[in-house]
Structure 1
Amino acid sequence: MGPGLGAGRGAAAGHRPARSRLRQAGAGPAGHGRDEELSDNSSLRTPSQRIAWTATIVVSTLVFIFLMAPILAIMPLSFSSGSYLTYPLPGLSLRWYDDFITSPRWMNSLKNSMIIGVASTLLSMVLGTLAALGLAQWKSRFKPLVLAFVLSPVVVPGVITAVGLYFSFAPIGLTGSYLGLIMAHTALATPFVVITVGATLQSFDTNLARAAASLGASPLEAFRRVILPLILPGLASGALFAFATSFDEVVIVLFMAGPEQRTLPREMFSGIRENISPTITAAAVILTTISVILLATLEALRRRNERLKGGG
């Protein structure tokens, strides 16, 4: 019995190298080829999947054309030498950009947009950051209700918001003033800061703030040295959204602004109604360029944030 058992073990030991060699052979070029073949087969789509993929591409292209067509139609008109918005262009000229730059009316509207936009952005950054920090630390069943109230200016139609602000600000003399417009635009822009900063705080480690406090840092110093650098990407994104919202707002300006607070969108709206001039197309191109710059900056910040997360 002993010799037979030893012979069986020897035979099994003799088979193991053979199996190992077979496995190694399967993992060689032939095995790699089989893996590639399986991968290629798995990447093949069924006819219904190919149809769905093609339909998705077609619909996406049509939506892109639908969104970009107005911009692509306006840009050539801003370089027209004619006095009317017509195609084909009679010639190319920069006269309407020159008219925009040299016109006190257009320059004043651009200045008002910048003043109101920057001021409301700074206020919304402060208020939105405080609200996001408070909501992130608050544990209550009423938190969703409060968050919905804070974000309501994004959901409520602009006309309803404008009417409510008008009847609230008119009795205290804030209509027709820069302060009233800045406060109204801040109410519209703050939710965007709350959203972006709140999303950043979702991945924030609260132990870092506790560690700073245990080392003797005051709450303000802990915020400045620990919390602020970590939420800065979200804060910058929210600031860009806030500025874009304020800079593009026209409904609230129609209700709240006086003759001295006419912003660029308000001036464009009046120009379309009262006197259609190709200068409006130059203003539209400038406004679009500012929006593109803001979006490019936002995308650069997003990619930088992803690289920092990946490196960490």
Structure 2
Amino acid sequence: MSAYRSRSERFGRTLLIGFCALILAFLVLPILAVIPLSLNPGSFLVFPEGALSLRWYRTLVESPQWTHAFGNSLKIAIATTLIATPLGTLAAIGLAYMRSRAKIMIVAIITAPLVVPVVVVAIAFYFLFAPLGLVNGPVGLIVAHTALALPFVVIVVHASLRGLDLELLRAASSLGARPLTVLFRVLAPLIAPGIAAGAVFAFMTSFDETTVALFIAGPEQRTLPIQMFEGVREQISPAIAAAATLLVIASTVLLGTAELLRRRGERMRLGSAAPDVGA
């Protein structure tokens, strides 16, 4: 009876693994399909039949429109990350130790951009920023992207705060450490992997965002996703597949980095000792 149950469990695990592999292939293969399209030496979106070519990657590097769009996306994403990361970290710390009934309402407001359709958020930003003169400029786009990236930072940092030993903070305070010293020399090192992972998600959110940028950005703030969108609408070129391939690679690397940081944070919480604290 036990042998039959063991075989049934092994068969069930194999079936589950196979089913998960099929779902993963269904989700990933369409994304990976752009890679061979980007290596096509011709001028149309077809799978290469003969030799492979880096022609369209060279086009991305040499084209002023593509390089300008990439530079805009990079600058806006960096600015968004630098603003959203400290704000989200402080918000997560405050929410983690809040005992008020208003906590649920505050969490709902912060995470609203994750629930509300992005086109509704984009229209709301447009009507809010237009009277303030923030449309067609980098400031409005950075503020909007910060609002979109903030929930990711709050969620990731808040998760890193779970299970944190509060006795470390109390011990630091009892030894004479000031609140800012406790924050920067005790709490921040313990949740540093979570903060870094939140920064990665904030960067990705801004760098890949399209809908809000279409409403807020001006001609000089054309980002890489907008350039790809315009390319698909006006003239389909394999250069779009090359740009999409680079985005897939960058997203994979950043997601892998965020996962490594998350695991490092878990190991630090499980095996860390109290850091050295100065008054």
Distance 1:87 1:79 in 2: 8
Query: For residues 10-56 of structure 1, what are the alpha-carbon distances to aligned partners after superposition, in whole Å with 9 as ceiling and x for unaligned?
Result: xxxxxxxxxxxxxxxxxxxxxxxxxxx96x5652327xx94x55553
| Aligned position for 2:275 | none
**Conservation of the 8 A alpha-carbon contact between 2:141 and 2:213:** yes
Preserved CA contact (<8 Å) 1:82 1:89:
no
For 1:85-104, list aligned pairs within 5 A: 85-104=45-64
Cα deviation code 1:85-122 (max 9, x no counterpart): 12343532111111100111101111111111111111
The answer (yes or no) to whether the contact 2:66–2:224 under 8 Å persists in 1 is yes
Instruction: Please name the residue that 1:297 is paired with.
Output: 257
Structure 1 residue aligned with 2:168, among 179, 198, 208?
A: 208
Which amino acid in 2 is paired with 1:150? I
* TM-score computed with the length of structure 1 as normaliser: 0.82
- Distance in 1 of aligned mates of 2:270 and 2:90: 28
Distance in 1 (CA, whole Å) between partners of 2:262 and 2:159 is 13
Equivalent residue for 1:256?
A: 216
Distance 1:226 1:59 in 2: 44
Instruction: Give the match's secondary structure for 1:173.
Output: coil
Please give the per-residue CA displacement for 1:42-84, whole angstroms capped at 9, x wherever unaligned: 52327xx94x555534432332222122222210111111011
CA shift at 1:230, angstroms?
0.8
In the other structure, the counterpart of 1:45 is 8
Q: CA deviation at 1:197?
A: 1.1
* Pair 1:176-2:136 in alignment: yes
Percentage identity across paired residues of the two chains:
51
Superposition pairs of residues 1-312 of structure 1, within 5 angstroms = 43-45=6-8, 50=11, 53=13, 55-312=15-272
Provide closer, same or farther for how the CA distance between residues 309 and 130 of structure 1 changes in structure 2, counting only shifts above 3 A: closer
Relative contact order, higher structure (CA 8 A, sep 6+): 2
Q: What is the SS of the residue equivalent to 1:139?
A: coil
Separation in structure 1 between the aligned mates of residue 270 and residue 165 of structure 2, nearest angstrom: 17
Deviations 1:108-138 (A, max 9, x none): 1111111111111111111111111111221
Q: Which runs of 5+ in 2 are unaligned?
A: 273-279
Unaligned residue ranges in structure 1 (runs of 5+): 1-36
State the one-letter code of the partner of 1:43. S
Letter in 2 for 1:251: T
The one-letter code of the counterpart of 1:68 is V
Computing the radius of gyration from Cα coordinates, the structure with the larger value is: 1
Distance 2:267 2:82 in 1: 27
Counterpart CA distance in 2 for 1:89 and 1:70 is 19
Q: How many angstroms apart in 1 are the aligned matches of 2:16 and 2:234? A: 42
CA contact (8 A) 2:95 2:103 kept: yes
User: What RMSD in Å do the two structures reach over aligned CA positions?
Assistant: 1.9
- Conservation of the 8 A alpha-carbon contact between 2:36 and 2:48: no
